[in-house]
Amino acid sequence: MIHPIEYRYGTKEMKRIWSEESKIKRMIRVEIALLKALAKKGYLSFEEVERVRKKAIKISPDRVKEIEEEIRHDIMALVKAISEVSDCRWIHFGATSNDIIDTATATQLRDSVLIFEEKLRKLALLLAEKAIEYKNVVCLGRTHGQAALPTTYGFRFSVWASEVARHYIRLKQMKERLLVGKMSGAVGTQAAFGKDGFEIESEVMRLLNLKPAIISTQIIPRDIYCEYLEFLANLATTLEKIALNIRLLQRAEVAELMEKFDAKQVGSSTMPHKRNPIDSENVCGLARVVRGFVEPQHQSAILWEERDLTNSSAERITLLEATILADHILTKLIKIISEIGIDLENVKRNLDAQKGLNMSEAVMIELTKRGVDRQVAHEILRRASLRAYANKSSLLEELLKDEDLLRYLKKEEISELLKPENYLGTALERIEMVVDWVRKTVNEG
């Protein structure tokens, strides 16, 4: 074993879809579907197709590989393997290699998409659930890594839930373009099938629960694979964004969020106290790898005339690894979110530690409402904030020294304005709205 996917990364269900054994079995099924379509047009009997099928499904991947080592052609090795266990002369009739390869790949993508759909639905609903659970947990918002206005943890989870739901929508919309196969021959003209070409291709795709590509050359146009890889890269970016923010909020000096840490888990080989966010770091690291497959796939869409072979070697890696790794980190993030812990005391501590400074906008807005020019109000609060920083005092203390400000606001009013829970705008209503939308979106169909 030399690749981490073999022993470290990836779920069993996704790796099973993209295994070499699965690929060969799927290509055999495409060949059998072609025979059935030919039988429907009278080329051979359905009884003969069934005899071939019963023998073909028992072909071992090792035998196909053995033949390939001799003749150096993977699809002809498959055809020879089927032919040697049956005497049917119609095997692979009218087909070119990528009729088999691309169509088999479409079945892998079809089954992979089902897994992605279910897991995206699960993550979106989980985030929506967390949004409601922590809707009223007021926390310090941060922009540029610095203290900003208050928000709530429910709001944060809502933002993440909305992104995941949009990926669910994208995936559903993409299926129409992605899940297509072909049975169109060497350059796409279906010359070997003659006028039967449309019907034969349609029947093969019907049997495999796919749709025919509207047009193809020797291969299905690779823009659809580019779109798929771009989708996985976009999804990976969202997953990394969420995991990165969990890591930021787990830092010792913040300590608001915490990945679950098992009783026997070890954080460091030398520092026994460590509780590292290793799952979130794993998501972040592998997301970068997933995004790295986008450019090779785009290059694989640029081919000579009706095709050359430069896409083949690259796509054996790009489609397989990007799919398995994206599924891996999606599964990982579901686990992280389902077990995430929030330290409410630290959330309050970090909010209180600002001594009201992050509430400067609230006072500025109220001053403006009471007749002070907005720019003047901004300058009053800016100077008071700088004094508070310099004196290590609270914003309230500094504002109470400003006689001009006290002509507009009383001490009790300023105190109320500096309470984070009083300056959330439409946050709570927005959370409810987003959660309703997310639940409706991922539960439709």
Q: Which pair of structure tokens corresponds to residue 190?
A: 């279906």
144 is catalytic: yes
Place of tokens 């899940």: 179
- pTM for this prediction: 0.94
| Amino acid making up residue 119 | K
Quickly count: other Cβ atoms within 10 Å of residue 285's Cβ: 12
Catalytic residue (choose from 144, 216, 385, 393): 144
Alpha-carbon distance of 295 to 306, in angstroms, equals 21
Place of tokens 């030399």: 2
pLDDT value of residue 445: 53
What contacts 336, CB < 8 A, 6 or more positions away? 243, 246, 259, 260, 279, 280, 283
The distance of Cα 179 from the centroid of its chain, to the nearest Å, equals 18
Alpha-carbon distance of 439 to 121, in angstroms, equals 9
Answer for the pair 331, 119: CB distance below 8 angstroms, yes or no: yes
83 is catalytic: no
Place of tokens 């997953």: 239
Catalytic residue (choose from 268, 298, 300, 394): 268
Q: Which pair of structure tokens corresponds to residue 380?
A: 């009053």
What contacts 291, CB < 8 A, 6 or more positions away? 233, 236, 237
pLDDT value of residue 378: 95
Answer for the pair 275, 257: CB distance below 8 angstroms, yes or no: no
Place of tokens 């993409």: 174
**DSSP letter at 425?**
T
Structural domains of the chain, ranges and CATH numbers in brackets: 4-344 (1.20.200.10), 357-417 (1.10.40.30)
**DSSP letter at 241?**
H
The distance of Cα 78 from the centroid of its chain, to the nearest Å, equals 34
**Bridge partners for 140 per DSSP:** 150
**Contacts of range 23-29, beta carbons closer than 8 Å, 24 or more positions apart:** 23/104, 23/108, 24/59, 24/61, 24/64, 24/78, 25/57, 26/104, 26/107, 26/108, 27/75, 27/78, 27/100, 27/101, 27/104, 28/56, 28/57, 28/59, 28/78, 28/82, 29/104, 29/107, 29/208
What contacts 127, CB < 8 A, 6 or more positions away? 157, 158, 160, 161, 164, 337, 438
CA angle 420, 423, 429 (to 5 degrees): 115
pLDDT value of residue 43: 96
Per residue of the chain (445 residues), give pLDDT as tens: 688 888 889 999 999 999 999 999 999 999 999 999 999 999 999 999 999 999 999 999 999 999 999 999 999 999 999 999 998 999 999 999 999 999 999 999 999 999 999 999 999 999 999 999 999 999 999 999 999 999 999 999 999 999 999 999 999 999 999 999 999 999 999 999 999 999 999 999 999 999 999 999 999 999 999 999 999 999 999 999 999 999 999 999 999 999 877 667 766 667 777 788 889 999 999 999 999 999 999 999 999 999 998 888 899 999 999 999 999 999 999 999 999 999 999 999 999 999 999 999 999 999 999 999 999 999 999 999 999 999 999 999 999 999 889 999 999 999 999 999 999 999 999 999 999 999 999 997 5
Alpha-carbon distance of 377 to 118, in angstroms, equals 51
Answer for the pair 301, 295: CB distance below 8 angstroms, yes or no: no
End-to-end CA distance of the chain: 41
Q: Which pair of structure tokens corresponds to residue 272?
A: 């026994």
State residue 443 phi and psi, 5-degree precision: -100, -5
pLDDT value of residue 441: 97
pLDDT value of residue 275: 81
pLDDT value of residue 383: 94
